[in-house]
Amino acid sequence: MNQTTKLKGEIIEKLKVLIDPEMGISIVDLGLVRNIQVSEDQKHASITITVTTPACPIIDQLVEAVAYKTGEVGVIETCDVEVQLDPPWNPRVDPTEEGRAELGIWD
């Protein structure tokens, strides 16, 4: 496993503690974390997230929380977080297996 892959895994573990307040499920397991990129020098992360609804009242707080938790990963010094609403979040496609189980989606 290369260092970038390891860092992405560490970021995901940090983000798993962030719980969507409406669903009560980790944003990782809901599939709200769409993409994680780490710079070549491994000091910067760019993360793309989505929300369960475009009218989500906590988008700004979620962006701040994602950047903060990512900053807890050792070598990461800066983090940009982009919210992507298209394609919209799909509860049958985006969640992880664990997330679908918590949502009660079995197919």
Q: What CA–CA distances, in Å, run from 72 to 23, 80, 87?
A: 25, 14, 29
Structural domains of the chain ordered from first start: 3-87 (3.30.300.130)
Tens-digit pLDDT string for the chain (107 aa):
788 899 999 999 999 999 999 899 999 999 999 999 999 999 999 999 999 999 999 999 999 999 999 999 989 999 999 999 999 999 989 999 999 999 987 65
DSSP state at residue 35: E
